[in-house]
Structure 1
Amino acid sequence: MAQRKRKPPRRKRPARGKGKRRGTRRKQRSRLWRASLFCLRWGCAVGFAGIIAIAGYLFFLDRQITSTFEGRRWSLPARIYAAPVELYPGAALSQRDAVAELTRLGYREVEFANAPGSWSARGNTLRAVLRPFRFGDGERGELPLAIEFEEGRVVRIDDGAGGELPIARLEPPQVGSFFPSHGEDRLILSPEETPPLLPATLKAVEDRTFDSHPGFDLKGIVRAAWVNLSTGELSQGASTLTQQLVRSYYLTNERSFARKLKELAFAVLLEARFTKADLMNSYVNEIHLGQDGARAVHGFGLGSQFYFNKPIAELGAQEIALLVAVIRGPSYYDPFRHPERAKGRRDRILGTMHDFGLIGEQEYHAALARDIGLAATRRAGRYYPAFLRMVRQELADDYDAETLGGEGLAVYTTLAPRVQDAAQAAVTETLAQIERDRGMDEGSLEAGMVVRGSQTGDIQAIVAGRVAGRYGMNRAVSARRQVGSAIKPLVYLMALESGQYDLASLIEDRPVTLDVPGYGNWSPRNFDREYRGPVPLVRSLADSLNVPTVRLGMSLGIERVAHRVEALTGVTAQAFPSLLLGAVQLSPMQLSELFAVFASGGFTTPAKTVLAVVDASGEPLSRYPIRVESAVELEHAATLTRALQVAMTHGTGKRSPHADRGVAGKTGTSNDYRDSWFVAYGAKHLSVVWIGRDDGGSHQLTGSAGALRVWNAFASNIDLEPALAAPDNATIEYETGLLADYGCGNIVSIPVTDPQRLRAKPGCH
């Protein structure tokens, strides 16, 4: 039976639209896959680029941080030091003055001096232990001293163990700095110079996880964030010491999250690059602790001097606590302005120090009982801007501004702070007194004053004006005014040099009229408008008589006088007869150059302010020795000095309470009483004082009524020693020049070339 063929099974048709949907899904999956691959590829690229950018930025920050950190750590201002006080048997220094000098240096009185920076006194003996110091000519270790005084002088110095010393020097005070361009000042401390109590206190108070954190304190950040979120303000921070250092070096004090993130990045990079010891040392030297005028006080080394006037090695626990207290807000906790507020925070820090075992129970309670113990004056070194400008000018030929402001030089100068303070006080107080006495407007008078070494040219004091420490015009250097009769000693010196005159020579005081080309006739008159006939040369100078001076000068030659003025002052003078009465404009400094020739015995000794410069490692860089050149024979200079001593005892300076102290002096008054001058010198000091108005107006003050009064006040507070004068060999009547004995009229003893030629006063010899 034939088999029936089986039909193949019919394929089921897909439901309408089903296959189409399946294909669509495949296409969608394919597109999704391609899109995913595309996104992945570009995401990786963008991410990689971001990583590269972040890495590059971090690398840039790292380079910036490293270079700035290293560079800024060694940007050190030049330190400017005054001249040291020298102690030796015979030195004119009282025990009271010696104590004042030690106090200026921040030494403290104790029962018995046995540690550097301390002193004690018993009877006429002063004991002190001098601190180590690097002078311009070498280093000195700590030095115990026992100094005996008698009648205002040092009579003996020994080393505290009986060994006699010929001389000892107190370390000089710092009187200023030349700052880097950022205007910050600091005294750099090495880790070895930093008292261990200071970093331990900083960590206990400011950053308890300093030794272990990577630059930030995560717990502190979380705690601060919670407080800030709760209050809705950025009211609390969690800065580590490293973050504070970052802010001081690189950032502002702006409070924002962006700045905080940048601060964190900087802190982490610093921690990665430098050791904890490096960071702590930088913090100790960098942190801002206050403001001294325009100068920002940075670091604990300078902070110690600024607040306590002593080195940090001598600070007690209560003083370290006060410095740490100031960190939180140098203005808010300024102990000079807010002592109670500062003491309250100091006491809380002392409590923390006690809790952490940094100080014991007894020391804690003793520290709490002490007041804040600030220095008597707010200073980080006593600043003398006028003097410092002169120092900078003198150094300008050898050192550029960058070197002076950034390489830690030590500059040793000629400034004598005791002399400077006495000069400034004399100017300030005397001008005020003159204004009151004469009914002048307060502040209408100004002054300039120079004090220099009589034999050396060392500038010991510069008074730029009546207000101490004010920046502005330096009248001692820049105010050029007519000097009046202060020029006359040069005319009389030239007369002595001519060989035709001595101090007893007679010159005529009678009217004279001169024909001045281009100006017509000129008839000089004396101050009192009287004429005396023949007068001895010494009287003509001492009484500052105009007419005989003009006669004398014209006989010498006015051209020669003008040339000599230029040779000894550096100022070109017009060769008119009025030059003989002071018609030449000089500054106090320029006039001091002229009188320095007389005071030194005939030598030019250019003014200088710098003795030596030493680099940061103690290596000498420059010395500035005395430069002298003979300009006048000793005999003539000494004879003129004797005449100027007579000017003090018998002439225009005779009302000075110091007239009989052997100083040589000369007054000067310009036309219309616009300028009042006085110049004086002894064996140690040469002083020039000018008084006038800045607008050039008249003040009706003669030299003796104005400038001499300033010098009188100054001389009362310094040591005066007689000027080096020629010995006397004749006694004459002051008015006539005739030989006379003591008790026979108004007499004066002077040196003359030949006493035998002098006529005797009838009945007196």
Structure 2
Amino acid sequence: MARIDYEDDDLNPDTGDAPQWRRRLVTWALAAIGLGLGFLIPYSLYLNHEVGQRFDQLRWQLPTRVYGQPLELAPGLALDAETLKTELDAAGYHAGDGSRPGSYRRDGGQWLISSRGFNDVDGAVAPRRIEVRLSGGKVARLEDAATDSKLKAARLDPARIATLYGQQQEERRLVRLEEVPELLVTGLQAVEDRDFAHHHGIDVSGILRAAWVNLKAGEAVQGASTLTQQLARSGLLGIGREQTFTRKFNEMIYALLIEARYDKKTILEAYFNQVYLGQRGAQAIHGVAAASEFWFGRDLPDISTEQIALLIGIVRGPSYYDPRDNPERATARRNFVLGEMHETGLIDDAEHQRALKAPLGVTEQPGLSANRFPAYVDLVRRQLASDYPADALAGAGLSVMTGMSPSAQAYAEGAVTKTLESLDSKNRPDLQAGLVLTDVHDGEVLAVVGSGTPARPGFNRAVEARRPVGSLLKPFVYLLALAQPDRWSLASWVDDSPVTVALGNGKRWTPGNSDNRSHGTVRLIDALANSYNQATVRIGMQVDPRRIASLIHTLAGIEAEPNPSLILGSVGQSPYAMAQLYQFLASGGEIQPLHAVRGVLDAEGRALNRYDTEPAPAQDGDAIAARLITIALQHTVSSGTARRLVADGLGELQAAGKTGTSNDSRDSWFAGYTGDHLAVVWVGNDDNKPTGLYGSTGGMRVWSNLFSRLPSAPLKVGDKGLDWQWVVGSNTTDAGCPGARRFAFVAGFAPAYQPCQPPEPVVEEGQGGWREWFGFGRDDDDEREAPPEPPPPPPQPVETP
């Protein structure tokens, strides 16, 4: 029998062995599988560890948000329609029917406001619908719209005024899945991942369906990645769009691991908090809640069907479909999403057609801002520095609750801008300003303006500038005098004749008045109201400059050398420091530390620190002295150096105020307060050159422009501890006595009574007389202060209005 030769590719029937090439193939295959498993298993374990690190703990870097003051409405509150609308706009409210949270309806003076719930320093504040009636510049009525019952007070959720980011410039606000509108949840799945509920991270059928949709559309309108893959791509791999095999492979492995470890609810919730939906400079917008505010200026529950569709459309490409830069492209994408919603039965025909015709609803400017009020936020940072260093505060996910009033801040910025523009000329082209506005009831800082361009960050003149304060210090000289009621009263006679003070080393100081005149013997109240330097120096030297230095240190922490020139304000301070000093007077004698921050909340809304503690009641002696100075400063406004405020139409406020001007008109100051507010204003040049401005023509003009718009209660001085009497000469007398003036005295210290007698033929200087008949009356402004010592100054030149 002939032998048959077998080729290598045939089986040998005698031995049953496989041919050589097959043995090699199997060996290679097994080796490849072994190598693959040897790589894939540890690599998958590594990626699984990464999922646990990046996803499981959900450690996103959340920005710290800074909020303004909740608007607290109460019957009798000074409030007009313009201010209420400003507050609502700042807090992101929108006009509507007032039925949904974050909306309001206005009908003349009647407002229906639907507030949102929020966390404040004293706990959670529930949402509610309230009716507000404004009349006569006040809240006339406040009711609960649900029960028609009257309310004593109601708080509206505050505006966000700044965001403090960490190293990552990411804007994100975490939401739970149940807080996301249902249409957004279902609509996103309809467009991006219809089989989300059934697949395990990778959807082959979805890939085929997307390919078919894109083929019909002639362009890429639907992606093939699942929501889980998109989450893996942006949350674990970063938001980069480069397509590489390694990146795609990692994305798929991540998606499988995520699906294996977490339920669908957790994955969806993470997606809605992570998805990238826009960019503003270095500020990345992540999550649907932040995107809703960024694009529409609304909270997530408040957005409409067409806005939901736009958000879903933007997911595919926030830059490409940017509705501000590419509205036509964004509209087409939104309409495609609306079509998908309609096709899947999520919206009916009527809603589909309505939404197609609706505008995009995007705000002109982004609803988010890193820092809308740089000077105020600078003050916030300074006040938090001891408890929260900058690196611990930024990106910490905290809520900083402040006292800033958006309307007051807007009016303050407007007043500074308007005034500086009106004062701008060839002689003063570089004017700057600093302003601090406070609440006289509790010391909260309501507004801060740090420069002539308020929105631009930089040197904060309201807090950092140290400029000579001039006559702003004079009321505290008189305060010390009036604290000795057995020696001094508002009716006391003081000598305003030339005065010389020995300074030591044989040097002498002879300050002069602003009008270069002496006014003889005048009432103490008139010496302060007209800011007579000579009379003030005489009083100050008897009071003792050391006591003046001690007083301003106690009240405001101001350090000053107790030189005689301190009497006329030869100390450099900031508007903030002077606001702290004047807060004592404006509050009626209370020691109220100014504070911009009311409290700090953690990411869950729990209070970590509070800074809005109640101030201690004023001591009786302090309250009485503060009332007397306030009466004198009201006289300053009604008939003294600040009387232009009455001509400006602000007489009804019955404000108390004091002008101040430093040497050569380098610094213009004004401090004034009403029944609700205190504002201190400085105007000058950074280079310390003369401005040609005085207290009444610079700082007071800003104050006037501010209070012409800011609703504020009139200043009413209580009579507790005071005794009002009619006075002629140095005695009390009858009310109808010719020439009698009415003065307030500390109770028990009024001078002796004397029956009415014919008036002496002496006219009190500063109250009329031949000089005023011929135009030689008081100047519109106040004083010329002495420079710091040493050396002593020469006689002061005239200060004219």
TM score, norm. by length of structure 1:
0.85
Matched, 1:127 2:112: yes
Residue of 597, 607, 632 corresponding to 1:643: 632
1:518 and 1:337, CA in 2 relative to 1: closer, same or farther beyond 3 A? farther
C-alpha distance in structure 1 between counterparts of 2:452 and 2:374, whole Å:
13
Matched, 1:498 2:498: no
Q: 2:655 maps to what in 1?
A: 663
Q: 2:252 maps to what in 1?
A: 264
What are the equivalent positions in structure 2 for 1:338-487 lying under 5 Å apart?
338-375=326-363, 377-380=365-368, 383-399=372-388, 404-405=393-394, 408-435=397-424, 438-440=425-427, 442=429, 444-487=430-473
Matched, 1:81 2:73: no
Give 1 or 2: higher helix fraction.
1
Instruction: Show CA shifts across 1:331-384 (max 9, x none).
Output: 443333443443333223222222222211100111122212234653227833
Q: 1:6 maps to what in 2?
A: none
Q: 2:667 maps to what in 1?
A: 675
Instruction: Show CA shifts across 1:122-144 (max 9, x none).
Output: 45432233333333323343323
1:545 and 1:136, CA in 2 relative to 1: closer, same or farther beyond 3 A? same
C-alpha distance in structure 2 between counterparts of 1:733 and 1:477, whole Å:
46
Displacement of 1:617 in angstroms is 3.5
Displacement of 1:480 in angstroms is 1.4
Q: 1:715 maps to what in 2?
A: 707
Residue of 749, 754, 759 corresponding to 2:750: 754
1:69 and 1:739, CA in 2 relative to 1: closer, same or farther beyond 3 A? farther
Residue of 682, 687, 699 corresponding to 2:691: 699
Q: 1:531 maps to what in 2?
A: 518
SS at match of 1:447: strand
Gaps in structure 2 of 5+ consecutive residues: 1-18, 215-219, 765-801
C-alpha distance in structure 2 between counterparts of 1:423 and 1:748, whole Å:
37
Displacement of 1:237 in angstroms is 7.1
C-alpha distance in structure 2 between counterparts of 1:243 and 1:517, whole Å:
84
Q: 2:538 maps to what in 1?
A: 551
CA contact (8 A) 2:100 2:302 kept: no
CA contact (8 A) 2:498 2:512 kept: yes
Amino acid at match of 2:760: P
Displacement of 1:41 in angstroms is 9.6
C-alpha distance in structure 1 between counterparts of 2:406 and 2:736, whole Å:
43
Identify which range, 379-388 or 753-762, moves more after superposition. Answer: 753-762
Q: 1:277 maps to what in 2?
A: 265
1:192 and 1:350, CA in 2 relative to 1: closer, same or farther beyond 3 A? same
SS at match of 2:376: helix
Instruction: Show CA shifts across 1:205-255 (max 9, x none).
Output: 333443444444557779999999xxxxx9997444333323332335252
CA contact (8 A) 1:455 1:596 kept: no
Report the number of matched residues. 722
Displacement of 1:637 in angstroms is 0.8
* Cα RMSD (Å): 3.7
1:575 and 1:110, CA in 2 relative to 1: closer, same or farther beyond 3 A? closer
Displacement of 1:429 in angstroms is 2.0
| Larger RCO (CA within 8 A; separation ≥ 6) | 2
1:143 and 1:376, CA in 2 relative to 1: closer, same or farther beyond 3 A? farther
Q: 1:21 maps to what in 2?
A: none
Displacement of 1:665 in angstroms is 0.5
Instruction: Show CA shifts across 1:558-582 (max 9, x none).
Output: 2222222222221221122221111
Residue of 230, 240, 245 corresponding to 2:231: 245
Instruction: Show CA shifts across 1:417-469 (max 9, x none).
Output: 1111111111122112211xx33565x11111111111311111111222233
C-alpha distance in structure 1 between counterparts of 2:563 and 2:460, whole Å:
29
Displacement of 1:396 in angstroms is 3.9
Residue of 298, 319, 325 corresponding to 2:286: 298
Displacement of 1:194 in angstroms is 0.7
C-alpha distance in structure 2 between counterparts of 1:45 and 1:374, whole Å:
59
1:579 and 1:370, CA in 2 relative to 1: closer, same or farther beyond 3 A? same
Q: 2:77 maps to what in 1?
A: 91
Residue of 265, 286, 289 corresponding to 2:274: 286
1:537 and 1:757, CA in 2 relative to 1: closer, same or farther beyond 3 A? farther
Amino acid at match of 1:285: N
C-alpha distance in structure 2 between counterparts of 1:730 and 1:755, whole Å:
9
SS at match of 1:63: helix
Displacement of 1:705 in angstroms is 0.9
CA contact (8 A) 1:639 1:726 kept: no
Gaps in structure 1 of 5+ consecutive residues: 1-32, 229-233
CA contact (8 A) 2:481 2:539 kept: yes
CA contact (8 A) 2:375 2:454 kept: no
Displacement of 1:635 in angstroms is 1.0
1:304 and 1:733, CA in 2 relative to 1: closer, same or farther beyond 3 A? farther
Q: 2:141 maps to what in 1?
A: 156
Identify which range, 239-248 or 275-284, moves more after superposition. Answer: 239-248
C-alpha distance in structure 1 between counterparts of 2:185 and 2:210, whole Å:
24
CA contact (8 A) 1:451 1:687 kept: yes
Q: 1:61 maps to what in 2?
A: 47
